[in-house]
Amino acid sequence: RVQQLLGLFQFGLLFVLALPVETWSGPWSLVGWLLPMLPSAGLLRDLMARGAGLDWGEFALALMNGALYFALGLLAFGWAQRQAKRRGSLGSY
């Protein structure tokens, strides 16, 4: 069941990564900075496709965005692991 959802999630993630959020203005630009992986994808687009120089402020924000979502993922994994152990559904992994 999880494998089927993972395929759908990957297509959604590919769509989100293709969005040019660095061109958004107003309150939508804040949304673009808060979504996972979008600041780093926009920074890479600026560097590789547009030939812009590296903005260290944007790089720091993209790094903080990645670290935040990595920490949230670790917390969610730890919670799911505890739930699986409590229910006894882990087996010999």
pLDDT at 92: 61
- On whether the CB atoms of residues 73 and 54 are closer than 8 A, the answer is no
Please give the radius of gyration of the chain, using alpha carbons only, rounded to the nearest integer. Answer: 17
Which DSSP category does 79 fall into? H
Whether the model pTM is above 0.85: no
The segments of the chain whose pLDDT lies below 70 read 1, 91-93
